[in-house]
Structure 1
Amino acid sequence: MTAVDGVDYTPRPLDREATFYVAGHRGLVGSAIWRRLEKSGFTNLVGRSSSELDLKDRDATFAFFAETKPRYVVLAAAKVGGIMANSTYPVDFLSDNLRIQTNVIDAAIEHGIERLLFLGSSCIYPKFAEQPIREDSLLTGHLEPTNDAYAIAKIAGILHIQSARRQYGLPWISAMPTNLYGPNDNFSPQGSHVLPALIRRYDQAARSGATSVTNWGTGTPRREFLHSDDMADACLHLMEHYDGPAQVNVGTGSDVTIKEIAETIAKVVGYEGATEWDTTKPDGTPQKLLDVSQLADAGWTAQISLEEGLRRTVDWYRDNADHLRG
């Protein structure tokens, strides 16, 4: 992107001494980004917990930006959950996420934030999108009904970023990660996504000596999984090397069945019992594999293998099980 108001916004290494706000810095993605930025030498990171700053409160959000004056922002704050939570509370997922992202983006516009990365989700794409899913599949078909409210909020966020680019010339970008996992994930029985739910279930079964574990669905849907540390590394890379209006898919470019991921988790936690499948429960989207060609063209590929990532995550879960959410 060319200069705007005399400022050259061409992507380049970010100033390690500049104020950098990570919205949602205690969550799965935000905490990983915080660790990656610290490792990369950023010395003025800013974060607020939801109890310290309610991003649904527009006045409080604008006051925070006026006080801290960040130069860079990663918008990783969001209300997230698995199939059950999304199906049960669609109003909450739509309303909360729209308010969070609208307040942060509008405040960032008012204060002329130099670089902003908005994080969405691969659920923005149509349920039956051609696999692997390209960025231009957005808005070409019906969404998965179990999380359509959350998806619509994230689609609105993408358009908000694109609109800021068109109206104000700001070089802001959006990244759409595949299924993420890692430290600080939500492992609660009601609110977790599939992978942390499986880790908790199989770890408890291994510890209790249970002879069987029952999982939702058929186990046949295919899913792509990316460790949150890889995601964080991709985010910093994109902020320093990519500028474009299209959202960028972030993933590994390969997938496995839910049955295969369950078997791998069972192996990692040391569970040797049987696994049964409750086929009366929904499977969700049959396959969700991202085309990561655009990300590769920008110079980044995933580094952490699935089994290695699972081992790291299980170790973290066991070390922190006593004070996890839920």
Structure 2
Amino acid sequence: MNTKDKIYVAGHTGMVGSAIVRELRKQGYTNIITRTHKELDLCRQSEVEAFFANEKPEYVFIAAAKVGGIRENIECPADLLYINLIINANIMKAAHTTGVKKLIVLGSSCIYPVDIGQPMTEKDFLSGKPEPTNEGYAIGKIAAIELCKMYKRQYKDPFISCMPTNIYGENDNFDLNASHVIPAMIRKFHEAKANKLEEIILWGTGTPLREFLYVDDLAAACVFLMNNYEDEEHINIGTGEEISIMDLAHVIKDIVGYTGTLYFDNTKPDGSLRKLLDSKKIHELGWKHKTNLLEGITASYKWFLEKY
């Protein structure tokens, strides 16, 4: 990409999209196009096609998505499947029709099969079924990754896709009914501290292992891939480091300054027991994360305090 190329970031108000915009501006890109949901409904094909025909973006980052934590994944599978499927299909079709120079689609590590070896390589994709509590979201994202490949295979479109690990950071969703584990714990511990609660109950056993990537590092990876990656196969983006949910809880507890007792409700689901990406491929290309977990969670909590 050249710094004056017209770049469209879909989903710029979300955590990942806003980080990509920040990273692009940081690197000197000046011609960035964005639209809010009120200005452009990505679920409506006619609106998306009209937008691409009028604006003719040269590069496209698809960061728009409907996401949620384990509770929303269980309760809203149809919404998660439909919205993620239709957003990606509409954007890719319009990008194909108008001849964009390059497009990147973001998947998620949770769409890998539940019962495979660790760490998960790109070759493990579609080798089994996703974790049942995550099925709706996973199938929507699987379809997006495959559609990206098929446009490249059939039409030679310059579309690429990536598979990030669990993301957290600035502009995260702190809604306790829809958030992922890090923002949910930050808010829960902060409110328990403010209300002087003596104990907190968390879902599951605390034993599952998770890998986390700070959102600004993901944004840097996406810009890096747009400039350095061409293959049909998606590419993993992770740190190669993991932590148990129980240990994570104690890290966040210390950062927030909550002094009460933690209890884990083992009658609630754990989700996948382990989800570690093999990110050797992107590391060999020259990208690596810069933010460690302690720094990232501290920055996330600072943002939470400023914005909430």
TM norm structure 1: 0.93
Q: CA deviation at 1:288?
A: 0.2
Whether the 8 Å CA contact 1:176–1:247 is kept in 2: the answer is yes
- The CA distance in 2 between the partners of 1:164 and 1:105, in whole Å, is 8
SS in 1 for 2:99: coil
Ranges in structure 1 where 5+ consecutive residues have no aligned partner: 1-13, 322-326
SS in 2 for 1:141: coil
Alignment of 1:75-224 (within 5 A): 75-224=62-211
Q: CA deviation at 1:72?
A: 0.3
- The CA distance in 1 between the partners of 2:129 and 2:87, in whole Å, is 25
- The CA distance in 1 between the partners of 2:215 and 2:193, in whole Å, is 25
| Paired amino acid for 1:128 | D
Whether the 8 Å CA contact 1:171–1:244 is kept in 2: the answer is no
CA deviation profile, 1:230-287 (whole Å, cap 9, x unmatched): 0000001111111101111111011000001110000111111110011111000000
Whether the 8 Å CA contact 1:238–1:298 is kept in 2: the answer is no
Match of 1:307 in 2: 294
Q: CA deviation at 1:171?
A: 2.3
SS in 2 for 1:253: coil
- Root-mean-square deviation (CA, aligned residues, Å) is 0.8
- The CA distance in 1 between the partners of 2:194 and 2:39, in whole Å, is 37
Match of 1:255 in 2: 242
- The CA distance in 1 between the partners of 2:5 and 2:113, in whole Å, is 38
Match of 2:37 in 1: 50
- The CA distance in 2 between the partners of 1:90 and 1:42, in whole Å, is 37
Match of 1:270 in 2: 257
SS in 2 for 1:214: strand
| Paired amino acid for 1:114 | K
Ranges in structure 2 where 5+ consecutive residues have no aligned partner: none
Alignment of 1:226-245 (within 5 A): 226-245=213-232
| Paired amino acid for 1:120 | G
Identity of aligned residues (%): 46
| Paired amino acid for 2:100 | I
| Paired amino acid for 1:61 | V
Q: 1:297 aligns with which of 247, 264, 284?
A: 284
- The CA distance in 1 between the partners of 2:37 and 2:110, in whole Å, is 24
Tell me, yes or no, if structure 1 residue 23 matches structure 2 residue 10. Answer: yes
Q: CA deviation at 1:186?
A: 0.7
Q: CA deviation at 1:89?
A: 1.0
Between 1:156-165 and 1:279-288, the stretch displaced more is 156-165
| Paired amino acid for 2:108 | S
Match of 1:318 in 2: 305
Q: CA deviation at 1:128?
A: 1.5
CA deviation profile, 1:1-40 (whole Å, cap 9, x unmatched): xxxxxxxxxxxxx111011000000111000001000111
Match of 1:41 in 2: 28
| Paired amino acid for 2:91 | V
TM norm structure 2: 0.99
